[in-house]
Amino acid sequence: MLLTEHIAGLVAGTTFNALPGDVRDKAKLLLLDHIGCMIAGSATQGARMMTGYLAGTDGGGPSTVFGTMNRMTAANAAHANATSASMLSLDDSFVLFGHPGASIIPAALAVAEQTGATGEQLIAAVVCGYEMSLRLGTALRPSEERDRQVKGLASWQIFGACSAASRLHGFNDVEVADAFGLTPMHAPLPYLRKFHSRPMSLLKNNYGWANKGAITAVELVRAGFHGNRTIFDGDDGFWA
């Protein structure tokens, strides 16, 4: 079995009932924490600018933009909420891996509203996102020399949002693989070695785009598009 096929099957088959109790509890805590970070961050200049921009391009939708009266499409709501969640850097962090939740939970919440998901389905999707994101990041960890030259987090964390959104849409393993194949076409390039220039960009890690890009890839699968189903396999895989 190819690696991409194996991972897609794990995402498609993950259920709430299969999760250990402590994992469920941790996912609930992370969800609550991120909603608080979104509400707090929504009052910052950068978040207000982003939400205002997105509102001007969005005709309304099913998904909440926390801390505001706006409702947008799932992709734009996740974009706005991810920007807010990470703006104050109060969201969860993992050493050298940035803030994993901000590239997962905004997409999961927005798509859960879009699909009318249950709380159990939302939690299972969030766990899928964390498992995918952090394991992929570990597998892609560069050498110290390479890391000093090229660094990107959202570039691969986008697969966490893709996993969560795919699970909430009830994708089968082939559809998840298609979404994985389309996702890197919407991923931000690794730019973080230029991040600390002045003036510093309010986009920060650009987790907003990671959420939006992942949801876009998933929506394209729903529209009939196919992606490369071996995206993690071979010498020319995404890891390279």
Give the whole-angstrom CA distance, residue 140 versus residue 144.
12
Its CATH class, for the domain covering 3-222, is mainly alpha
Query: Distance between CA atoms of 156 and 103, rounded to whole angstroms?
Result: 10
240 residues of the chain, pLDDT tens digit each: 899 999 999 999 999 999 999 999 999 999 999 999 999 999 999 999 999 999 999 989 999 999 999 999 999 999 999 999 999 999 999 877 789 999 999 999 999 999 999 999 999 999 999 999 999 999 988 889 988 898 889 999 999 999 999 999 999 999 999 999 999 999 999 888 887 778 888 888 899 999 999 999 999 999 999 999 999 999 999 988
Name the phi and psi angles at 188, rounded to 5.
-70, 145
**What phi and psi values does residue 71 have, to the nearest 5 degrees?**
-130, 135
pLDDT for residue 184: 96
Q: Please report where in the chains the tokens 């949801």 appear, as a residue.
A: 215
Sign for the pseudo-dihedral over CA of 106, 111, 114, 119 = negative
pLDDT confidence of residue 171: 98
Domain coordinates in residue numbering, the chain: 3-222
ω into 184 cis (within 30 of 0): no
Tell me the residue ranges of DSSP E strands in the chain: 63-64, 71-72
Contact 20, 192 (CB under 8 A): no
What pLDDT sits at residue 197? Answer: 79
Q: Which helix (H) or strand (E) holds 69?
A: none
In this structure, what are the phi and psi dihedrals at residue 123, rounded to the nearest 5 degrees? -65, -45
On whether the CB atoms of residues 103 and 160 are closer than 8 A, the answer is yes
